[in-house]
Every structure is written in structure tokens, then in C-alpha cells.
Amino acid sequence: MTILAIETSCDDSACAIVRDGRTVLANVVSSQIELHNITGGVVPEVAAREHLVNILPTLDRAFEESGCSWDNIDAIAVTSGPGLISSLIIGTETAGFLAYLKGKILIPVNHIVGHLYSAWLGHEEEIAFPILTLTVSGGHNDLILSRGHGQYEILGQSLDDAAGEAFDKVARMLGLGYPGGPAISKIALNGDPEVFQFPRAYMGKSNLNFSFSGLKTAVKTAIQTSGPLHDQIKANIAAGFQKAVVEVLSDKVMRALSKYPEIREVHLVGGVSANLALREAIKFKVGENITFRVPLDFGFCTDNAAMIGAAAYHLYSQDPSLYEGISNIVPNANDWQIAK
Ligand code: KG4
Ligand code: ZN
């Protein structure tokens, strides 16, 4: 089954063509990063207007790259939420109209569920349930237990800022660009993580939720009280901040593993999964007996449409009757219900 997938939940217009949920024939992302760099973050209306301009050219590039024509496409998948409502609408309207025009099946996909399947892309071998997935992005931060396709349980979530959001805000405080994650991890390489001791919010022994707002405030205080911000101080702050985030995230993964010993694989996905320090920490703590996977390509970590196509395939295959007669999709900005 070949699926054309569209993702516009935030600031990237993305189109992909994916075969049988695993083989990526094209994965095109039209980035708006340069535009949002000017404002140091995403302005929703600006993002939506850019989606309007970019979505059809992005779609054309996906067809070109894959060598597919409309005859090869069996279904159209699209992100229905959560995300910025004005951005989501551009994707769902485009997908709905194309499905109507071309007579294709329409499959709505939850953005977080999409991220879960980013770790499946490109793999041919069997992937074993139950799977524990840590999704770490700019807009969301979750610990999810998957017992099968369509059977997802949120074990923990961020109570305030998501990890990527904390990276972005700290980067802004340090005068680094947007997105903050890559900039922080780069300068952290030259820093001493022990100079600044930042707080770790564990919120009790068995709690699986996350909170990064206290850490963010501690970084702000450190910046205000440590004198002129020369490069070495910036690097030390970045290293101390990154270490605190990595420790909390990896420790919460271990807590979930001890609570659910039946888990067979641990997946790390989302924009922050590009962070090498985080990858290493989780891989090391998880050990040899559990399979640890990250997306095979850095382009599958950040928002992309290939993951939406992969999720759509697996959900559709579970029960095709659920998707009969869907002719349009109303996006839901706050759709954290990931059960379907
Ligand atoms: O998944 P994503 O593209 O968008 C959302 O759904 O939010 O994630 C973007 C986030 C940004 O906050 C960015 O700073 C972060 O991923 N990020 C990183 C790294 N690369 C991207 N954070 C830490 N280290 C990185 N290397
Ligand atoms: Zn995302």
C-alpha cells in the first residue's frame, strides 16, 4: 500500500510517499526556520501563510523524488492534531480536497502517533511490542507505552515546557539562534557541565511526568548573576543545562522500564532525539537486553510526513473499515487523545 502523507502541524510543510509503512520513497520538508529565526520562535499566522505558499510545490517535489504518479497512490494521510490550528487547517484542507478530487482513502493521523512510527521507517526486521517510546520535541514531551498498533498509553507527559521548548528558550537567553537544540548541544561540547548545578525535577520516586520550567528559571538566574556572558560561561551553562535534561529524561525511561518489565524495545523520537548526549545516555542505561532505536535518518527526528505515512499504514491495516466514507477532516489543535 502506497500512502501520500501530509504534515503541517507547526512550521514545516512536509509531504512524503511511503510504501507499506516502512519504505520511504520520498520525504520532502519545506522548512520555515529562517523566517522564524527573525522572531526567535514560530508566529502561528506567519507559519500558516507560508504553508499555503509551500504545500503544493512540496507535494510536487515528493512526486518527482519518488517517481510515483497519482495512479500509484492508494491513500492520503494527514496530521489532524495536535498542533497550531491555523497550520493544521492547511494540511487537512489540502488532503481532503485531493482525496475528493482523486478518489482516494483519507486517513487522519495524530501527530504524536506519527512520531512513534518515525523509529520504524527504513527497518525491515520485526519490531517487537511492547514498546516504550520517549517523544521529545519542541511542542510535546511524552512517555508512551505501545502494546500494539492502535494501543497506546501515555505514561507521562510534560507538565509545563517540553524538552525542546526548554532548549529553545535557554538558547534564546544565551543569544543563540532558533532552533535552540542544535546550537546548545554544539557549544555544550566546549563546556564543563559541573560548573553550574541545575535542578532536576523528579517529582517523587515513581512519577513519570516531566517539568522543565524550574530548570529554565534556574538557567535565567545563573545568566543574570554570573557576570559578563563570555563564550566559556555560555558553554558551561549549556553543558550544565543539557546534562540536567538528559539525566531526567533517561532516568524517567529507566523508571518506566522497571514499572513495566515486559517492555521489549525502547524508542527515542522527536526533534530532541537528534541530541547525541541524550541518545548515548539512554542507550547506556537501557543496556543490551532491550532493543534501543532512534530514527534511522536525522530527517525523521524532526517533524516530517514520512512518519505520518508510516502510522497511517499500520493503523489502516488494523481495521480498514474505520476509514470508509471519511471525506473531510476537522483538525483538533488539542488532540492529545492518542488512542486513535
Ligand atoms: O519534533 P520537532 O521538529 O517539532 C515539534 O514537534 O515540536 O522538534 C523540534 C525541537 C526544537 O525544540 C529543537 O530545538 C529540538 O527539537 N532539537 C534539538 C536538537 N535538534 C533539534 N534539541 C536538542 N538537541 C538537538 N541536537
Ligand atoms: Zn513533532
Q: Which one has a higher pLDDT value, 179 or 50?
A: 50
Please identify, by atom number, the ligand 1 atom nearest to the C-alpha of residue 301: 1
Q: Give the separation between CA 32 and CA 47, rounded to whole angstroms.
A: 7
CB-facing half-sphere around the CA of 177: CA atoms within 13 A: 9
Site residues for ligand 1, CB cut-off 6 Å: 10, 137-139, 164, 167-168, 179-182, 185, 270-272, 274-275, 302-303
pLDDT mean over 192-215:
94
Query: Do the beta carbons of residue 308 and residue 172 sit within 8 Å?
Result: no
Percent of the chain with pLDDT over 70: 98
pLDDT value of residue 263: 98
Among the bound ligands, name the one nearest to the CA of residue 162. Answer: 1
Tell the residue number behind the cell numbers 534556574, with chain if given: 218
> What is the Å distance from ligand 2's center to 206 Cα?
26
Residue nearest to atom 19 of ligand 1 (CA): 181
Residue nearest to atom 13 of ligand 1 (CA): 181
pLDDT tens profile 80-115: 999 999 999 999 999 999 999 999 999 999 999 999
Q: Give the separation between CA 132 and CA 306, rounded to whole angstroms.
A: 21
Query: DSSP label at 64?
Result: H
pLDDT value of residue 327: 85
Q: Which region, left, alpha or beta, applies to residue 203 given φ > 0 means left and ψ of -120 to 50 means alpha?
A: left
- Mapping DSSP onto H, E and C, the string for 255-321 reads HHHHHCCCCCEEEEECHHHHCHHHHHHHHHHHCCCCEEECCCCHHHCCCCCHHHHHHHHHHHHHCHH
pLDDT value of residue 251: 97
Cis, peptide link before residue 130, omega less than 30° from 0: yes
pLDDT mean over 231-242:
98
By C-alpha distance, which of 188, 186, 217 is closest to 201?
A: 217
Helix then strand then coil, in percent of the chain rounded to 5, is 45, 20, 35
Please identify, by atom number, the ligand 1 atom nearest to the C-alpha of residue 140: 7
pLDDT mean over 144-172:
95
By C-alpha distance, which of 121, 179, 119 is closest to 3?
A: 121
> What is the Å distance from ligand 1's center to 182 Cα?
8
pLDDT value of residue 40: 66
pLDDT(209) > 60: yes
Considering the chain, what is the average pLDDT of its residues?
94
> Mutation test of ligand 1: which of 137, 170, 268, 278 has the most ligand atoms closer than 8 Å to its C-beta?
137
Confidence of residue 31 (pLDDT cuts 50, 70, 90): confident
* pTM confidence score: 0.94
pLDDT mean over 219-232:
94
> What is the Å distance from ligand 2's center to 109 Cα?
12
pLDDT mean over 55-83:
97
Query: Do the beta carbons of residue 191 and residue 237 sit within 8 Å?
Result: yes
pLDDT value of residue 339: 41
> What is the Å distance from ligand 1's center to 138 Cα?
5
pLDDT(11) > 90: no
pLDDT(292) > 60: yes
pLDDT mean over 264-284:
97
Percent of the chain with pLDDT over 90: 85
Cβ-defined contacts of 335-339 (< 8 Å, 24+): 335/80, 335/81, 335/82, 335/110, 336/82, 336/112, 336/154, 336/157, 337/110, 338/110, 338/112, 338/113, 338/144, 338/152, 338/154, 339/150, 339/151, 339/152
> What is the Å distance from ligand 1's center to 157 Cα?
16
Residues near 144 by beta carbon (within 8 Å), at least 6 away in sequence: 112, 116, 132, 133, 135, 152, 153, 154, 155, 338
Please identify, by atom number, the ligand 1 atom nearest to the C-alpha of residue 9: 6
Confidence of residue 336 (pLDDT cuts 50, 70, 90): low
Query: Do the beta carbons of residue 108 and residue 118 sit within 8 Å?
Result: no
pLDDT mean over 234-261:
98
> What is the Å distance from ligand 1's center to 90 Cα?
22
For the record, the C-alpha cell of 100 comes out as: 475528493
> Mutation test of ligand 1: which of 272, 276, 304 has the most ligand atoms closer than 8 Å to its C-beta?
272
pLDDT value of residue 340: 33
Confidence of residue 76 (pLDDT cuts 50, 70, 90): very high
pLDDT(79) > 90: yes
> What is the Å distance from ligand 2's center to 112 Cα?
7
Among the bound ligands, name the one nearest to the CA of residue 79. Answer: 2
Confidence of residue 337 (pLDDT cuts 50, 70, 90): low
Q: Give the separation between CA 22 and CA 312, rounded to whole angstroms.
A: 11
Residues near 140 by beta carbon (within 8 Å), at least 6 away in sequence: 82, 111, 112, 157, 158, 162, 270
For the record, the C-alpha cell of 281 comes out as: 545516555
> What is the Å distance from ligand 1's center to 264 Cα?
26
